[in-house]
A and B are shown apart, each in its own frame.
Chain A
Amino acid sequence: MAAPSLIMRARAGCVLITLLACFPGTAFASTTSGRTVEAYLLRMQKMLFTVNYRGIIVFQHNTMLKAIAITHGEAPFGGWERISTLNGPPRELVKNGHRLELLFEGHPVRLMHVLAHYTGLPENWVGFSGHFSHTLLREYRFFLLPKRGRVADHAARIILIRPDDRFRYGYRLWLDARNGFPLRSDLLNDRGQVIEQMMFVTVHWYGRQQWHARPPTVPRVAARARRLAVVIPECRFVRLPRGFRIVEDTTALVPGPVRHILLSDGLASVSVFIHPIRPKTPTLVGMARMGPVTAFGKKIGPFSLVAIGEVPPRTVRWIIDQARLVTRP
């Protein structure tokens, strides 16, 4: 019995090597299982949007370790979520559709109210479900690893997403082997080192009949009919990192007018905020970061530009350095 097994493995190895040489990005996907990487990721995307679930996530970055309870209910406009921290300072984040509120020890955080004025979900957001196979495969390489894992007592398939340049981070995902639900996510830097980890410790999915949780009530903030006194100029970018493009360009009130330009390559995303400089009010100049989230700020004339996103520092700096404000008469 051993000899045929060895021959089979040798054959499989030859096929793998051949396919890897021909299709470096997706070779593993088409050989190690009947399902491709794309199929797994699309299933994951579908699960995130269509399934009710409840679980506990462990979140680790550097020396920070957080346990977070999450309840997600499916509903129109992106569903609802209740997220609360289980260690450290108690805080709760509730989201229902477009509305989002952060509660700290029972008190809502004031700045979150500005989100009520925000236009909501961008309609042309690409994400995993949009131009996945056409755009992401140019900037990332996807590997369905032959090794199998186990997370939260569920068998998992491991997907490695490796960027082709140093302008974005990589990912290693553990997806449920049966339904594609993301059970664990590692964020990788350009050297392949883990810089942030999230993992479900327990997770339970519920069908519609079994789901009795009610969505949280997020208070509506009275809309302020306020005309924008300041016209914020358009922003053009001379040259963006490869694959990045503008997917959203809106104006929000926080409470003053702020132009919000969302750039994405389909997986990584960066927001550029442009606001008029107010006297005696400091604004970000230089680099700042919070975990793997980086921000870079710069003043151009009477406006301040701030880029923020979960990308390496060089990306936000590049984007701001390539920004040009265009004032139309």
Chain B
Amino acid sequence: MGTGKSDENSLLGIEMVSVFLDGELDEEGCERLLASAHGDAGVGLRLSCYGLIREVIRDHDWRHVPRFAPRPAAWHQNLWGSFGRSWHAFASRPALVWAGACGLLACTLVAVLLLGPVREPPGVGALRDHVFPGLSAHAGLNRPEGRYGEVRSVSWNTPSSVVRQQLETYWMLHAASLSGSQMMGYPRMAAYNYSVAGRKQGWRHHP
């Protein structure tokens, strides 16, 4: 097959494809036209046309042609398809994968720290108090509400001695005013009253 023939065949093929895509010539018509070619030229023409058809179909925005328009996919196919494409795009980038994993881990940690169970293993509070004496064992170091309520705090400090004494005084006035009506109020007073002994225990302060 000579060059001139080839060009001629290509031109013919392009014309056929355009006709084919415009809907003027259907598949059967295309086949008949190709079959009417004779000899080597016919074979070359056929091969050329098929190749061109494939290329044009590949490169051309053929979706506007009614017969090639994609069928509307079911919603789950769309979902899965988009997920699959996204996942493929995501998984093909290791940096993205690592960043995602780290983000997930961080979110999990934050969620556990903020919303995790309040109860802590026995001994943890004492250990923390021992290692970090400025931090309360139950001061909401890693909880949004502490143990008792809504105080969102990071640390509870031991108040100054003056404030501590003030609190002791007020606490005792409070307990004394309740007297016997407060169930076992005085044993609690005796048990908790640390600061009057000069020890840096008892009251914890979050300004």
Contact = CB atoms under 8 A, between A and B. Distances in A.
Nearest to A269: B178
B118 A191 contact: yes
Interface stretch (B32-40, B106-114, B186-194): B186-194
A182 interface: yes
Interface string B113-154: 000001100110110010000000110000000111111010
A283 B169 CA distance: 12
Contact of A118 (B177, B183, B196): B177
A314 interface: yes
A290 B179 contact: no
Interface residues of A, number: 77
Contact of B183 (A84, A122, A182, A248): A182
Contact of B186 (A89, A93, A286): A93
A195 B147 contact: yes
A126 B27 CA distance: 98
Given A57-B184, A81-B186, A313-B149, A290 B192 contact: yes
Given A102-B196, A185-B183, A254-B169, A62 B176 contact: no
B174 A111 contact: no
Contacts of B193: 91, 102
Interface of A: 48-49, 57, 59, 61-64, 66, 68, 70, 78-79, 81, 83-85, 89, 91-93, 95, 100, 102, 104, 109, 111-112, 114-115, 118, 121-122, 125, 127-128, 166, 182, 185, 189-191, 193, 195-196, 198, 248, 252, 254, 258, 260, 262, 269, 271, 273, 281-295, 306, 308-309, 312-315
B176 A115 contact: yes
Contacts of B163: 282-284, 288
Contacts of B166: 283-284, 306
A128 B150 contact: no
Q: Which 10 A-B pairs have the closest CB atoms?
A: A127-B181, A286-B207, A312-B149, A313-B149, A271-B174, A288-B205, A66-B191, A63-B126, A59-B191, A313-B151
Given A114-B169, A308-B171, A286 B181 contact: no
Interface residues of B, number: 57
Nearest to A287: B206
B190 A289 contact: no
Contact of A49 (B150, B180, B197, B206): B180
Contacts of A198: 184, 187-188
A298 to B, nearest CB: 11
Given A57-B187, A289-B204, A89 B197 contact: yes
A93 B173 CA distance: 14
A126 to B, nearest CB: 8
B184 A182 contact: yes
Contact of A125 (B146, B178, B187, B191): B178
Contact of A308 (B137, B174, B180, B184): B174
Interface of B: 118-119, 122-123, 125-126, 129, 137-138, 146-151, 153, 156, 159-160, 162-163, 165-174, 176-184, 186-193, 196-197, 199, 202-207
A63 B137 CA distance: 9
Most buried by B among A84, A104, A260, A295: A295
22 contacts: A48-B183, A66-B191, A79-B180, A100-B176, A102-B172, A102-B189, A102-B196, A104-B197, A109-B196, A189-B147, A189-B148, A195-B148, A258-B173, A284-B166, A288-B206, A289-B156, A289-B203, A292-B148, A308-B170, A313-B149, A313-B151, A314-B151
A254 B173 contact: yes
Contacts of A191: 118
A308 B189 CA distance: 13
